[in-house]
Every structure is written in structure tokens, then in C-alpha cells.
Structure 1
């Protein structure tokens, strides 16, 4: 049996999951949106493109949509920079719907149609408990045998849209690897929070979707335990860029580095969000609100009214909200350290990893890393510094963003130019070497 908590597919990360209708009514060319998405590249192109022959396509257009997938992918798939995973219809309670999904996968996968050589897998929505997952897996096994493909070569991703499928995730480790199935073909666990909300019969006063933090945690946990990739659901307010960024930041702290993207603009945001920033910056907890300090000539400046600092004859008065603290210099430094956090740049992370690797080569098991800055509040400048111990566990934990970057660089050559512009060629080269 495979060691289940190890990644078994070439891609170990997915930042972006981008869906496109497969056929649009009322257009002279119903495949217009597919063709547009097929031409995306660089930061606008997702890691996984999902020609969506389910919810995004009207039921009366899905037969035409399946043919559009074949036509567009067979023509443009060889040059597409990401993976291609069409979504087909499926439903845990409807044998006829599952049969339609099977028939369309069979058609799309037919080698004579020319698309399957560019398709990496299929996305199966509305799955139920683990037995339903195995039905979809068995259909793909039949397709592989029908066309002479290796069993398990077509990836399968599922969308978690019900309590049944959420509970089904808990059984993956028991089922994957058994000789009676090919569930090791599983690739992504994707959250479908709209249908999940409907299935749970959840109600909010405004009609907005619940946050479902437990679902995100459970999906990330299941993906980690089974060697899969977790992807969050769509963020519908496509104009709310800050909200989208906040959602991704929260997800990333749970280990969920991928998110559904509804527009090329969201794709760009999500492609960059999981990567370390090009420039490091300081954050100040200003009475419950995180504020980024502005770096001016090497000084980190706070310009706001939630925190104030005054120098007195006997020391300092630091005010945060309605609290006034009379402090000496050492006490002030400690208070500021408690309020401040540093977000390291890619260069910072690479520097630290290189320094630790050099220390290991010299026989040291742990070293102290110092972070220092001059902070200015209301014209008063204070020098702060803190030490953090780095050992092997710290090194490995902080290696994740570098491993992500390396995975992106190896699998997305269309983004090489953009990454070099973002970080500089020197930083990119060092990031590809560190940790290896």
C-alpha cells in the first residue's frame, strides 16, 4: 500500500481552481468562454482549469458543452500551462445523473476525439458517502480499461457539498490502497459551500453563506491525511479583493493553499497570495486592527490614531485604544514587540534557510535568528529586536512556502518571467536551490 500521507501526484500544490462554462446560450460560438480561458497564461492562468459542464452550464447545453470540451481541449490543450480537469454531472441520489456523467466522461476520454491526452482528470460534484466515491472511481476504471489506459492514470477530484461527503472524507485512509478500488487516483478535495449550506438546511439572518470554518478544517485535515490537495470554495463577491485575500490568509493558516477562482482577476490574486511577498513588512496590532507600517528610509512608521506614543521626562506613555501605559525604555520595547509582527519576504526566508543550512553543516543543531527594526510612532523612534531559535523542526515548518514556490516554478514555466519580475532572478535562483 502507498504511504497515504505522502503526495502521490506530480503536483503537490494547487493555488487556483478556475471554472468556465462549457457552452453559453445565445452566442454564435457557444464555446467562446472556453476558448478565452484556453488562451490564459502566466499569472492569469490557474494551476487547474475546470471546463464546467455542471452548474456553470445550462442543462440543455451540456451535450454541446461536452463536445466543446473535446473541440477546445484537443486544439489548445497542448499549449495550456496548467492542468485540465473537466467537471461532469453527478449526484449521490440520482443513478440517471451518474450515468450521464459516466457517458460524458467516456466521450471526452475517447482517444479518437483527441482531448484526453491533454486532460489530467475529472471533477466529480455532489458525491455522497465513500461508497459513492467508489462508484465514480469504478466508472473511471472502466473508461481506462475501455481505452487501454493504465488503471488509476486519470485523476479524480471530488466536491464536498453535503454532510455525507464530509463524513466520507474520514474513511479515505481506510479505503485508499485496497485492491478493490483505485481511489489513489484522488487528487483534490474541493469545498462546495453553497450546496453544503443547502444540504445542511442552514439559515443566516442576511441570507449570506455561513463561514463553515469546521468544514475548511475537516477538508484540509482529510487532504493532509490522505496525501491529497484541499481547495476552498468560490468567493462570490468578485469586487471584494480584500475579503478574498483575508479568506485566503485564513485558509493558508489551516493548510488549505488552494481556492476556487471565478475570474482571471481572482486567479491572479490567488496565484500570488500563497507565495511569500517580494518585500517584508511589519504589522502593528492597533487596538485589534492589524495595520501595515510604512517603511521610510529604513524606519517603520505608524500613521494612525489608534496607537500613540509620547516621550516624557521619566520615560514614555504608550496609548493603545483607551489604555495608557507609563513605561520605561525596556518596558516600552517589550510592549511594542508584543504588538508587532514581521512578515518575511521571499529573500528573508531564503536567507534564514541558507543560514541554518550553513550552521547544520558546521555541526550546530540550533541557532538564534535576530529580527530588528526602528519603529516610529508620533515622531518617537524606538529600536526593537527579538531573537527566534531555529532548529530542524522550525526549518522544516518554514520550508513549506519555499516548497510551494519550487513546485510552482517546476510546473508553471509560463510564470518564470513573472516570478523573476516579482522577486529578481537572483532570489528565484537561490529559492530553487535552498532545501535541496
Structure 2
């Protein structure tokens, strides 16, 4: 169990690698079991759209069973609860956290700071305003106190899925210190705007110039970066079209997103590849940082602009190299400390 403070735990969750986030229906025992062996960076057990209404209550206990049993290769574990426009949100939060706490009785963090449960974050869908995030924060805080958990250690990932959510994205990003990422939900976003397409993420009929999703993707990314959190792209629903998935993933990876949701095991390896810095970029970033640090030191002449190969590098170039380094560190492949 961690002896870190809640703020340290949340900071770690904001740095964690989320190249791929695998969605798993919480009502499918078979798929829950299969998900344990997949190499996605994050797995979320879904209580929302992937679970039919009559199965939602029972799925809560199945999610608790799966998380309590452990064995996941994924480094991050999450649960997506139902949105506030349903009758399930409070029950989802209460039964999952309480169930996990009951399974882990007795183990305390060093210094008596409280226990942790095998749940890193809660994904909150269809967020339209900051108050919805703040409400989940308060419920989690009471549950943490009730069960002797580390208060404030469970992170939040709000999904932006309609125009109102996009308008309020900055307030949503800062509604709770628990927020570790913003997630774009393309399907509901398309429906809310009336886009002429029946395929999630596809360009709408008649829209022939540019990318219909560039504005929401960029707006979410700008807000995430302004507030020091991650930006995660939503799913590509043609699960057998690996080439199409790769194209969509490279699009948002190039824009600067940290990762993408995946719906099928075939998408996991390709997603991890796309959102991992390339070997030549890592080598180049390491070279830039080493040469720049030396050249800007007193012993190196205190030069602020230098040549690295055939390119001039200044402080802006150093920051770009740091971005590559941070992504490589999160993926566990940075060659230095």
C-alpha cells in the first residue's frame, strides 16, 4: 500500500501511461476474465453504455469481483459509472467502492494514512458541467472516510460528449483535484450535434474538406494541457479494421493526445505502438537534452541557442524534447534516469 499523499497519488495518475485504454463490459464475465491478460496500459470496467439496463445492477458485483481478484496486466484500473441523467450513478459509486473496501479490510498504508482499493480512477460519462464532477468528488470523499481509505486518492476522468460539455470544458477540468484526464466521447458528441453519420468517428456525409472533429479534439487538448492533465481520444468502433484504427490513432497522436480507447484485443498492440515515441525520436530527444544541458551550463559556455546536428535548438526545442522524454518515461522506455 502506498504511503504517498493523495496529491502525490493523483500526480502519479496524471503522469501514468494511457496509450491504450481497453473498454470491457462489466456484465460479461468472459470478457472480464480475458481482459486480465491483455497489454493495454489501462482497463476500464464499464457499467454504462456497454451494459444493458436489466443487467446494470448485477454488473456492479461482477466488477467488484473482477477487480478484487486482480491479475490484470494493465497498470491502471478504472470503472465507468453511469451518467447523472440516469438513476444509477450514486449506486454505482457506492456499491463498487464499498464492495472493494470490504474485500481489502485490514491492509493499511504506512503511517496510518488509510487504505487503497484496486481502483485508480472513475470515468464519468456525458459530463455537461462542473457540478457533476464536484458531486462525484463529494460522494467518493464520504465513501473514503466511511471505509478508512486514503481520502482523495481515487482519480476522475470526465468524458466530454456534447456541445455543453465542450463549452464548459475548462470548468470541468478544474472541478476537482481528482481529475487526471479529459476523454473525448465521439459517438454521443456526433449524436448531440446531429452529424450525418451512423459510424462513430466517421466523417459525416457531405463534409468533404478538413476534419469534422478537429475543433472538439483541439479544444479538449488545449484545456487538458492548460490544466496539467491528460487528453484521451475515444474509440474506433470498426474493431476488425486495424488499418483504419491506426489511421485514426495516428491522427490524434500527432495532435498531441496521450492515448486512445480500444474496444478489441486487435487494437491494443497497434495503439501502444502508435502512442509510443519512435526509437529515433527518443534518441534525438536524448541527444538534444544532453547537448543543451551541457551548453547552457557555465562550464559549457552558457549558450542559449546551439546546433544539434543540422538544427538550431533553443529553450523551445528543449521543451519539445522533454515532451518526448515524458511519454517515453511513462511507457518505461526512456534510456536515461
Seen in structure 2, the aligned counterparts of structure 1 residues 72 and 138 have a Cα distance that, compared at 3 Å, is same
**Separation in 1 of the partners of 2:236 and 2:331?**
23
Equivalent position SS for 1:57: coil
Q: 2:178 aligns to what?
A: 185
Matched, 1:432 2:322: no
Seen in structure 2, the aligned counterparts of structure 1 residues 265 and 205 have a Cα distance that, compared at 3 Å, is closer
Residues 206-217 of structure 1: pairs in structure 2 closer than 5 A: 208=202, 210=204, 211-217=212-218
Residues 344-359 of structure 1: pairs in structure 2 closer than 5 A: 344-359=280-295
Q: CA deviation at 1:398?
A: 2.0
Matched, 1:101 2:101: no
Deviations 1:217-274 (A, max 9, x none): 1111111122211100101122333332332332233321211111222121121212
Q: CA deviation at 1:185?
A: 0.6
Q: TM-score, normalised by structure 1?
A: 0.64
Q: CA deviation at 1:56?
A: 1.3
Q: CA deviation at 1:206?
A: 8.5
**Separation in 2 of the partners of 1:154 and 1:239?**
34
Matched, 1:33 2:3: no
Matched, 1:368 2:304: no
Deviations 1:21-66 (A, max 9, x none): 1123xxxxxx1111111123xxxx2222101111112222222221
Q: Which structure's residues are more often strand, by fraction?
A: 1
Conserved 8 A contact 2:183-2:233: yes
Q: 1:64 aligns to what?
A: 58
Conserved 8 A contact 1:49-1:85: yes
Residues 386-397 of structure 1: pairs in structure 2 closer than 5 A: 387-397=310-320
Conserved 8 A contact 1:172-1:226: no
Seen in structure 2, the aligned counterparts of structure 1 residues 67 and 209 have a Cα distance that, compared at 3 Å, is farther
Equivalent position SS for 1:66: helix
Residues 21-420 of structure 1: pairs in structure 2 closer than 5 A: 21-24=25-28, 31-40=29-38, 45-77=39-71, 80-91=73-84, 93-94=85-86, 96-109=87-100, 111-114=101-104, 117-172=117-172, 176=175, 183-204=176-197, 208=202, 210=204, 211-278=212-279, 344-361=280-297, 362-363=300-301, 364-370=303-309, 387-409=310-332
Q: 1:299 aligns to what?
A: none
**Separation in 2 of the partners of 1:248 and 1:400?**
18
The answer to which of 240-249 and 219-228 deviates more is 240-249
Conserved 8 A contact 2:133-2:172: no
Conserved 8 A contact 1:190-1:231: yes
**Separation in 2 of the partners of 1:231 and 1:356?**
31
Conserved 8 A contact 2:305-2:312: yes
Equivalent position SS for 2:268: helix
Conserved 8 A contact 1:84-1:121: yes
Q: CA deviation at 1:214?
A: 0.9
Q: CA deviation at 1:10?
A: 4.0
Seen in structure 2, the aligned counterparts of structure 1 residues 254 and 108 have a Cα distance that, compared at 3 Å, is farther
The answer to which of 206-215 and 159-168 deviates more is 206-215
Count, aligned residues: 307
**Separation in 1 of the partners of 2:193 and 2:324?**
35
**Separation in 2 of the partners of 1:172 and 1:192?**
15
**Separation in 2 of the partners of 1:263 and 1:106?**
27
Q: 1:15 aligns to what?
A: 19
Equivalent position SS for 1:126: coil
**Separation in 1 of the partners of 2:198 and 2:119?**
42
